[in-house]
Amino acid sequence: MGRILDGVAIATAIKEEVAAKVRGLAAQGIRPGLAAVLVGKVAASEIYVRSKVQTCADLGLYSEMITPPADITTEAMLDLVRSLNDRDEIDGILIQLPLPAQVDAKALLDSVSPGKDIDGFHPVNAGRLQAGRPALAPCTPAGIIEILKRSGIPISGQHAVVVGRSDIVGKPVAMLLLHQNATVTICHSKTRDLGAMTREADILVAAIGRPGFITPDMVKPGATIIDVGINRITDRAEFERYFAGNEKRAAAFAKRGSTIVGDVHPRAFQLAGAYTPVPGGVGPLTIAMLMANTVRAAQMRRELPRRGL
């Protein structure tokens, strides 16, 4: 079993750095601000957004949680975003997905000012990222790079294989790895002989959204595995497929009726030189990088010098 890359510890360190930057900006009369928009009442999303708002408070950032009704129209949402774009005390705008079916999510995300797009989803930021210019990068991909760097995992000259091609994780993490001088291969569910590709990876990023998709026979011994997947399983037979013999997990599963598994089969980690666990790996970095992006947006909007994150 390889070395565990502790996402919780790395996220804590990043938050401490963000808090220090917030204190430095406060000395200049600046308080970075985040507006989190949650449409309707979705219990899981509400918990997630509230945790972001609470993290802002913990780190000294200003935040607002805006909760439009579930039946809101696209035009009304566009008006809301336009008002947030115009507010100087708001540096970052977060629109929690998914949105109700009647709301045009693409139009809404595209309406966010690129300078306040702390999720890094806007086409302008995607283009800047590809061009290697200063941009707000998507939080999960940026967090993956931080995990690798802060864990002393070499990137330059390594062969990185990314399994997954989403605009949120797969494509941007491939671009960020390329900017760190990795040789990058992007694969997906339609890739022929996928295992032959993944077995060549020094760094294997699994972001395909399928539980246990990367099996032990697909992993090069000693590789670094970054498991982005968060898949909830409730079926006992499926649980046994991944966690047979794991008494601690079995007890938790019996109590809760569910557990989390990543996109990598847990037995594949036995071959890794280092890996991110699920949970406790990539997940905690997402909120930490969201806070870092909010501060970065505040600095970029005011053309202030930036160091580090």
Write the CATH number for 63: 3.40.50.10860
- 279 and 146 share a domain? yes
Do the domain assignments include residue 18? no
The verdict on residue 119 lying in a domain is no
10-residue block means of pLDDT along the chain (309 residues)? 94 98 96 96 84 95 96 97 97 94 95 96 95 93 98 98 96 97 95 97 97 97 97 93 91 92 96 96 96 96 75
Instruction: Please check whether residues 56 and 154 belong to one and the same domain.
Output: no
Residue 303 is predicted with a pLDDT of 83
Within a domain: 49: yes
Q: What angle do CA 21, 29, 290 make, to 5 degrees?
A: 40
Claim to verify: residue 100 and residue 164 sit in the same structural domain: no
Q: Which domain holds residue 146?
A: 139-285
CATH number, domain at 270?
3.40.50.720
State yes or no: is 117 an active-site residue.
no
Strand order in the sheet with 33-37: 62-66, 33-37, 92-95
Catalytic residue selected from 15, 21, 91, 96 = 96
91 is catalytic: no
User: CB–CB of 198/204 below 8 Å?
Assistant: yes
Among 71, 98, 114, the domain-final residue is: 114
Q: Based on the structure, what is the number of domains in the chain?
A: 2
Same domain (yes/no): 144, 259: yes
**Nearest residue to 78 (alpha-carbon basis) of 105, 53, 60, 57:** 105
Residue 191 inside a domain? The answer is yes
Same domain, 178 and 82: no
Residue pair 284/140 in contact (Cβ under 8 Å)? The answer is no
With a CB cutoff of 8 Å and minimum separation 6, the contacts of 256 are none
Q: Are 212 and 148 in the same domain?
A: yes
Spell out the residues 6+ positions from residue 131 whose beta carbon is closer than 8 angstroms to its own: none
96 with 152, same domain?
Answer: no
Are 143 and 280 in the same domain?
yes
Active site residue 202: no
State the pLDDT at residue 90.
98
- The DSSP secondary-structure symbol of 264 reads B
Single out the catalytic residue among 15, 116, 117, 119.
Answer: 119
Please check whether residue 221 lies inside any domain of the structure: yes
Identify any residues that bridge with 209 across adjacent strands, giving them in sequence order: none
Residue in 52, 116, 171, 220 annotated catalytic: 52
The pLDDT value given to residue 307:
65
- 200 in a structural domain: yes
Which of 80, 114, 148 delimits the end of a domain?
114
Whole-number pLDDT of residue 128: 95
Q: Is residue 176 part of a domain?
A: yes
Choose one of 114, 148, 170: the last residue of a domain. 114
